[in-house]
């Protein structure tokens, strides 16, 4: 999906919500465990109940890799289900990859070609030649970690390198890479006070913003400083939506949580 198509979906649905599909078998309703593929059964119910309220889904691959080959199969079934039934939905493989060039090419093929996600998250630590192989994929996005939502973000990302904080160096330097128009960045919702500085460097780039909900990030604060001319935000919530309840009505209750955020977004977009 192109950036323009994503923006069109956001405007149509009055939503820039991304729902995280981080499936933990200990947290899903008991009755689903009898299913041949409980992870897919859970995802399918959540997607069917919430697709009209969001523009993107983000499975974090850790939650699938943890279940071995069965988990990978569930991930494949989930992305195939989305691409077949809801082609207007933007998809993110939250895999946080990145390696020497030829290895990165294989990671990119796995997520962008074989699984056919619209985007994949990468870590910038190995630099330009580890990220450019992802950027080479046409009409796909590479979402690079810039300033993450966790406490450990302060260990390195805010330390000075070349006279500026490392996350700023990452943003500025990556703008010069080949096919950098295919870049988006991860910035945590818990770091709302940093958005003004970030927007000075990447005024129009899309930012994937995790940390609303379970991690305590605030949607209003993020939007106050993070919205760009073309919206430029995908706000992710995973646990705060998908684990709204553990009973038979789990999918409807997840939809209610998603609707709360979507309504807030619609109000913000109307201002
Ligand atoms: O800085 C980051 C980068 C990625 N994540 C991921 O986003 C979701 C957040 O889940 P919640 O349940 O809404 O807290 C999860 O997959 C993280 O691995 C992040 O939180 N922060």
User: In 3D, which of 20, 194, 151, 189 has the Cα closest to residue 94?
Assistant: 20
Backbone angles phi, psi at 206, to 5 degrees: -75, 140
14 flagged as catalytic: no
CA–centroid distance, 211 to ligand 1, in Å, is 6
Nearest-CA residue for ligand 1 atom 3 is 148
pLDDT tens sequence across 230-261? 999 999 999 999 999 999 999 999 999 999 99
Compute CA distances 139 → 112, 136, 244, 248, whole Å.
10, 9, 34, 39
Nearest-CA residue for ligand 1 atom 19 is 210
CA–centroid distance, 182 to ligand 1, in Å, is 21
Give the residue numbers spanning the domain of 88: 3-270
DSSP state of 212: B
Residue with tokens 């077949």: 84
Interface TM-score (ipTM) > 0.90: yes
Record the tokens describing residue 86, joined without a space.
């809801």
Overall domain count for the chain: 1
What is the per-residue DSSP string for 214-245? TT-B-HHHHHHHH-BTTB-EEEEESHHHHTS-
Which atom of ligand 1 is nearest the CA belonging to 58?
16
One of 14, 73, 77, 96 is an active-site residue; which one?
A: 96
Per-residue pLDDT at 1: 96
CATH no. for residue 8? 3.20.20.70
Nearest-CA residue for ligand 1 atom 18 is 60
pLDDT tens sequence across 171-206? 999 999 999 999 999 999 999 999 999 999 999 999
Q: What is the pTM of this model?
A: 0.98
Which atom of ligand 1 is nearest the CA belonging to 212?
13
């Amino acid at each position: 999906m192109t950036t323009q198509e994503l923006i069109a979906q956001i405007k149509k649905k009055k939503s820039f919500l991304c729902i995280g599909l981080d499936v933990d078998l200990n947290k899903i309703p008991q009755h689903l465990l009898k299913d041949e593929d409980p992870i897919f059964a859970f995802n399918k119910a959540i997607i069917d109940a919430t697709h009209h309220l969001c523009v993107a889904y983000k499975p974090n691959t850790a939650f699938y890799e943890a279940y071995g080959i069965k988990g990978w199969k569930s991930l494949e079934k989930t992305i195939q289900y989305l691409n077949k039934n809801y082609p207007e939905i933007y998809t993110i493989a939250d895999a946080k990859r990145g390696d020497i060039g030829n290895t990165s090419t294989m990671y990119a093929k796995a997520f962008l070609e074989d699984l056919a996600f619209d985007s994949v998250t990468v870590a910038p630590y190995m630099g330009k030649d580890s990220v450019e192989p992802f950027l080479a994929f046409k009409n796909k996005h590479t979402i690079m970690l810039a300033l993450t939502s966790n406490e450990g973000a302060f260990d390195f990302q805010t330390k000075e390198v070349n006279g500026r904080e490392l996350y700023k160096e990452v943003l500025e330097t990556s703008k010069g890479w080949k096919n950098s128009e295919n870049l988006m960045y991860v910035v945590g919702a818990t770091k709302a006070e940093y958005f003004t500085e970030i927007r000075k460097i990447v005024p129009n780039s899309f930012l994937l913003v995790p940390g609303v909900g379970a991690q305590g990030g605030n949607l209003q604060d993020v939007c106050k400083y993070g919205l760009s001319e073309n919206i430029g935000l995908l706000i992710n919530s995973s646990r705060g939506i998908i684990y709204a309840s553990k009973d038979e009505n789990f999918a409807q209750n997840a939809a209610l949580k998603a609707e709360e955020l979507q309504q807030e977004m619609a109000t913000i977009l109307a201002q």
